[in-house]
Structure 1
Amino acid sequence: MGIAEVFIGSMQQLLFQLFNFIPKILVALLIWVVGKYLISLVVKLLKKVRVEGAKPVNKLVETLAFILLPLGKVLLFLIVLDYLGIGSSVIQALVSGFTFAIAIAVGLAFGKALEPDAKAVVDSVKKQLEK
């Protein structure tokens, strides 16, 4: 077997796998388009909901619509990845990274908010050590 035969065999196998994967990509695109349409439809319907004389409920509905759009897109993206057969370990790594990012942001927010209290504690410890 020569190099040319190995190359041709590899290319045939690659093309065969590619042609077998094209229907999956088309269905994934269909899922993406239909999903985006449904998400936008739900958000539009939520934005139209108004309760007379209930300002907190209206604000809650607006906030829910604001949160639902990006959350729905992320969920749709994960559904498409799962359909395409991308490993669940990749999805778990993405979720873990997102969770760690949120934890760090919350920790920094609390740290910045408690900065004056921490300064007061450090100053009192310094005064105690100077005595």
Structure 2
Amino acid sequence: MFSRVLIVCVGNVCRSPMAAALLRQRGGRRLEICSAGVQAHNGAHMDADAKAVLKQHRVKSGDHRACQLTPELLHWADLVLLMEQEQLKRVVRLAPEVRGKVFLIGKWQNDLQIADPYRRQKNAFQQTYTHLSRCVDDWLPYLSIEDQ
């Protein structure tokens, strides 16, 4: 069972904070969740459309601030979830020793890759939410969560 989960995307303002918010809502208090981006601008706010879609589905987004992916974060995590196969190359270049705990968030959906909705219309964010919601639910049996 995994208890420390790191979720990674590119800028850490759309997909990974959305997935982290979903996991926080569904995962229980025993789970530690962090998100980061392979090209994040530290301190950037979550995209307004991402935040709006979460709010529409009654998922708390919190006061997210983007953070750059580091080897320390990769070592901290028990499980690292990525949005796209391309991010795996970046992670392995940064810390090759973590390869065994790195997976696509869409692993249980036939290795579904989650498209980046950044700078697209709001319906792209809604589609991202739908995909991430299913993916998060598929990971729950493998996580250290409280009985609900």
Same fold (TM over 0.5): no
**Greater share of helix:** 1
Structure with the higher fraction of residues in strand conformation: 2
Task: Specify the structure having the higher radius of gyration (Cα).
Answer: 1
The structure whose RCO (Cα within 8 Å, separation 6+) is larger is 2
TM-score by length of 2: 0.23
